[in-house]
Amino acid sequence: MHPADEHARKIVQALQHPDLDALIPLVDNIWPTTHTQIHSLLRHIFAQAREEGLNLIHPPTEFHAWLLAAAARNVGPTPASSNTVRLRLSLLSKLYTALQDQGMLLVHPLRGIQRPPNERSSAPLLPRADLERLHLHAQSDPVLFATLTLIDQHAYRVRDLLSLHWQDFDFTTGSALRPHAVTRLSDVALQALNPLITEAGGELYAAGRVLPYAGDRELRAALFRACKGANVPYTPPGELRRISLRDYHHTSQSAGFSANDTRKLTQATALAQGLADALE
């Protein structure tokens, strides 16, 4: 059997007789987060499917209703939030899309599913003055300061920051390769990166990951300490990214969006600026 066929057979088997532990390493390149987070988010769905003998690669007719109920299941009696349900559905949708692209599925099992509404926080985003105070305090930590500057100047996502390597930079042009674009970094961002470039051996020898954080948890812990030290409310990276979209006139390139999909940039900017009602 050809190795590709054997790999596909294992994926099908892990979905026919739902086994998340077996599936995750077989498709680890399709999800934008860690194996641990994928397991945490999808384990209830796979466990219930296994208990009921439900085939996840060729699910039954009433699959959407079953899945919405399973995706709302938590350890305790309180159901998962709408945003958590949406995230679980999104992860499964990415899986099915990848399998469809590989010719392993003819019909996408989540096509037409009615997702629960997105929960939007009513709390206003951090004012620019507080953000500047946070940046000033973070200057004593070059890694965190560079991280915050990249988020603020170019709306970086955490997962993209943690996967950023020096090989992704063109030091001649000051550009950085991102998942959907090549961004010409601002002078402010380049200046914030200078201490890290020097620490990595200079432009000629810098290699490996740009940010030394082991993962999302370590980055957030550093940010939490900095917020406390600067006497500003803890503001997670996702909100810092929305502040960037709120305060700057980004292009698709500067914010890392695909040049062919300006709609997403427009929508993200409108949401960050409190214009969701106009969009809908």
pLDDT digits (tens, 9 = 90+) for 132-157: 999 999 999 999 999 999 999 999 99
Task: CATH number of the domain at 212, please.
Answer: 1.10.443.10
| 219: in domain | yes
The label of the residue with tokens 């965190």 reads: 144
The answer to whether residues 137 and 221 belong to one domain is yes
Average pLDDT over residues 29-53: 87
What is the chain's Cα-based Rg?
A: 21
Residue 83 binned pLDDT confidence (cut-offs 50, 70, 90): confident
Owning domain of residue 252: 128-279
Average pLDDT over residues 236-252: 91
User: In the chain, how many domains are there?
Assistant: 2
| 36: in domain | yes
The answer to whether residues 144 and 70 belong to one domain is no
The answer to whether residues 25 and 68 belong to one domain is yes
Whether 141 and 226 have beta carbons less than 8 Å apart is answered as yes
| 59: in domain | yes
The answer to whether residues 269 and 146 belong to one domain is yes
The answer to whether residues 33 and 85 belong to one domain is yes
The answer to whether residues 176 and 66 belong to one domain is no
Which of 8-22, 113-127, 222-236, 249-263 comes out lowest in average pLDDT? 113-127
pLDDT at residue number 13:
95
The answer to whether residues 88 and 151 belong to one domain is no
| 114: in domain | no
The DSSP bridge partners found for residue 183 are: 176
pTM exceeding the 0.85 threshold for the entire prediction: no
pLDDT at residue number 263:
67
The answer to whether residues 19 and 83 belong to one domain is yes
The segment with the largest mean pLDDT, out of 59-73, 122-136, 249-263, is 59-73
The answer to whether residues 191 and 92 belong to one domain is no
> How far is residue 193's CA from residue 202's CA, in Å, rounded to a whole number?
11
Residue 105 pLDDT greater than 80, yes or no:
yes
> How far is residue 163's CA from residue 210's CA, in Å, rounded to a whole number?
8
Residue 276 binned pLDDT confidence (cut-offs 50, 70, 90): very low
